[in-house]
Structure 1
Amino acid sequence: MNIKDFDYHLPEELIAQKPINPRDNSKLMIVDKRNKLIEHKIFKDIIDYLNPGDVLVRNSTKVIPARLIGKKETGGVLELFLLKRIDLNKWEVLLKPAKKLKLGQKLYIGKLNELVATLLEIKEDGNRIVEFKYNGIFEEILDKLGEMPLPPYIKEKLEEQDRYQTVYAQKGESVAAPTAGLHFTEELLKKIEDKGIEVVDIYLEVGLGTFRPVQTDNILEHKMHSEFFEIPEKSANIINKAKSEGRRIIAVGTTSVRTLESSVDENGKIISQKNNTEIFIYPGYKFKIVDALITNFHLPKSTLLMLVSAFSNKDFMMRTYKNAVENKYRFFSFGDAMFIK
């Protein structure tokens, strides 16, 4: 299977630079994969396509303000991007420009040097390990000094930090948002629950690898990044009961899909666990749990486009994307959504 099979033309002006206000006023494309039909709606119309008894599974991870700007003792400015916590005060990070900080050197962050990062290790992949020194609570200092880690294709400054956060974010250390969830408002979620749809929380900490392009022509040679996930026991029980009763499991976003499909036993039941996943879903994959999917429009040649192509049908999905371009849908993180049923 060749990477070129998942390419499409996207005019730059269709890459959304700002979130829609209110959240649920973005466009919604309804994709009937069985009958190969497309409808054009507004996101808040999603409630008309959800049935009493459905289970809506959402990734309730929290995005941290992972982008920090620091200065060396000599005055040189570097960007430090948090990737993954290793222990209480040690983090794996990206540094830009990376070679400007030597082992043992310090980076001072904040007007009062509230955070001091010391470079401990240079990894083979180019990432760095740093140790932070600070007074107080790290998370509170990070909220004060850090910026939301917007994807590289978003060039405009985000006016409100919480717009790159779902309204139901609870816990975690994601460095990218589960963007399909950005369309939901608290009011819309209440209407959904009032209609008799169960809403359950799972967690997957979204890493920068979600934006990493596939570098191999043969997609089967691509190695997926690893991400931590958690499925609480209560959520697993609700999903398993619904599945046994023939009710639909609807995933909010590809991160929810990857979490669910990574945690199924041989009997088709969801396992409650904390684990890491490197699951790579591409056409030919047989879905075990997910019956319908709410998702945004993904980058050309991306693993996420491969996942939705597997969930639908590759040729039909590429036609769907062409339709979205023709109808001026907004793409990527702050863009519009589709509901594949």
Structure 2
Amino acid sequence: MRTSELDFDLPPERIATTAAEPRDSARLMAIHRDSGKVEHRRVRDLPKLGVFQPGDLMVVNQTRVLRAYLTGTRDATGGKVSGLFVCAHDETTWEVMLESKGKLQPGEAIDLHPVPRKGDETVAQLTLTESLGRGAWRVQVSSDQTTDPPTLLERVGSTPLPPYIRKARKAREQPEFTGNDFERYNTVFSDTQQAGSVAAPTAGLHFTPELLASLDAMGVHRAAVTLHVGLGTFLPVHTESLEDHPIHREWIDVAGETLDALRAVRERGRDILAVGTTSVRTLESLPDSFEGVNQHTGETELFITPDRVADGSFTYRYTDRLLTNFHLPQSTLLALVAALPGVGVDRLLGWYREAIREEYRFYSFGDAMLIL
């Protein structure tokens, strides 16, 4: 399909720059695919919608976002550098995205300072070893203490808010970062042992312990998967044809208890609600059968598009319902949602136009859509 088919116009004021407070006060556009009925509710109304039955299963992504946003100075000139930790090939070899006014060169060093910064103190240094193109670099990391990525990033990194949030905040003369960004950019069920994302699984941001307890009391089961969200998740597609887009890889991990829960919900004949497109990507990367399998882990490069559903090369198997945020135009996430049975591009963009008219808040800190 043509990427332009996934385009839509969004007024800048509809981009959310802060998360709803409390989390479950975010608005919820509940869509009944069979009837076409659309309800305008709040996320906290999930238990009251009358759509969940005891024995249904809700699948969440328990990944934790790293303090992956980096600011530093060029050791030789003192010039400012900003960037993003992408991944670690090993403890001292990282891949990062970097921006600076002057052209960066292989062999030069970038000093990283503590956050909040304390004068000229340097606690780590990145030595640029190889340009990977488009601002990406392979670097060697040295530090006065540990170079373990999550530990070091706690000292030198900030919340990796998407650039459009920081840009919108600047346009509205708001601070680029706030003191509670890191807490609000992680879900309440994120696991500190599963730190590895450079962006949030945003649909999960709407849940509170109280809302989870209400769903538990209804008999809605819950299982966790891990997908470490990478840079490519939210990037717009720049190829004319959607299928020509080089899909990104992301690390997934599905533990044995979650595989057991998936088997059990199918035996019960109940529905699976995927919380977020990252949960969908993880679930649909599983094999058709995992009998005798105690864990599924590795990289996924699954690319879900409407055309793949239409030609039969992909079929949704573990996603009956979806809770998701409103996504960027011409993005792979928009394509994934459009590919759901009974949705399609035209219908999805019609719902988006209604959401804009109803003044829903869009993107990472925005409101949610429930597709039933």
TM range (shorter): over 0.9
Matched with 1:295 is: 324
Partners of 1:243 and 1:87 lie apart in 2 by 39
* Structure 2: 5+ residue stretches without partners: 114-119, 170-175
Among 279, 285, 288, the residue aligned to 1:265:
288
Mapping of 1:51-90 within 5 angstroms? 51-73=53-75, 74-90=77-93
Whether the 8 Å CA contact 2:232–2:248 is kept in 1: the answer is: yes
Partners of 2:277 and 2:106 lie apart in 1 by 38
The offset of 1:103, in angstroms, is: 1.9
The offset of 1:5, in angstroms, is: 1.6
Question: Is 1:151 the equivalent of 2:151?
Answer: no
SS in 2 for 1:95: strand
Partners of 2:85 and 2:13 lie apart in 1 by 30
Matched with 1:3 is: 3
Whether the 8 Å CA contact 1:251–1:293 is kept in 2: the answer is: yes
CA deviations 1:219-244 (Å, max 9, x no partner) are 12222111111001111111111112
The offset of 1:208, in angstroms, is: 0.9
Among 218, 228, 233, the residue aligned to 2:241:
218
Whether the 8 Å CA contact 2:132–2:138 is kept in 1: the answer is: yes
CA deviations 1:141-177 (Å, max 9, x no partner) are 3213211111111022242121111111111311000
Partners of 2:107 and 2:270 lie apart in 1 by 56
Aligned length: 341
Question: Is 1:169 the equivalent of 2:207?
Answer: no
Cα 1:182–1:142 change in 2 (3 A) is same
The offset of 1:70, in angstroms, is: 1.1
Matched with 1:119 is: 128
Partners of 1:98 and 1:231 lie apart in 2 by 42
Cα 1:198–1:270 change in 2 (3 A) is farther
Partners of 1:310 and 1:55 lie apart in 2 by 21
Whether the 8 Å CA contact 1:53–1:247 is kept in 2: the answer is: yes
Matched with 1:192 is: 215
Partners of 2:74 and 2:353 lie apart in 1 by 48
Partners of 1:221 and 1:132 lie apart in 2 by 35
SS in 2 for 1:81: strand
Could you state the TM-score of these two structures normalised by the residue count of structure 1? Answer: 0.95
SS in 2 for 1:100: coil
* Partner amino acid, structure 2, of 1:162: E
Percent of aligned pairs sharing the same letter:
38
Whether the 8 Å CA contact 1:24–1:185 is kept in 2: the answer is: yes
Partners of 1:298 and 1:42 lie apart in 2 by 18
CA deviations 1:292-317 (Å, max 9, x no partner) are 00000011111111111111232221
Matched with 2:17 is: 17
Matched with 1:29 is: 29
SS in 1 for 2:339: helix
Q: Which segment is superposed worse, 174-183 or 105-114?
A: 105-114
Displacement over 6 Å in runs of 4+: 267-271
Question: Is 1:209 the equivalent of 2:232?
Answer: yes
RMSD (CA atoms): 1.9
Matched with 2:145 is: 136
The offset of 1:273, in angstroms, is: 1.2
The offset of 1:192, in angstroms, is: 1.2
* Partner amino acid, structure 1, of 2:138: I
The offset of 1:84, in angstroms, is: 0.9
The offset of 1:194, in angstroms, is: 1.8
Mapping of 1:257-336 within 5 angstroms? 257-265=280-288, 272-283=295-306, 284=309, 285-311=314-340, 312-336=343-367
* Partner amino acid, structure 1, of 2:96: V
Whether the 8 Å CA contact 2:98–2:135 is kept in 1: the answer is: no
Partners of 1:184 and 1:31 lie apart in 2 by 19
Could you state the TM-score of these two structures normalised by the residue count of structure 2? Answer: 0.87
CA deviations 1:79-119 (Å, max 9, x no partner) are 13100111012110111128633222211111421111111
* Partner amino acid, structure 1, of 2:330: K
Partners of 2:158 and 2:280 lie apart in 1 by 28
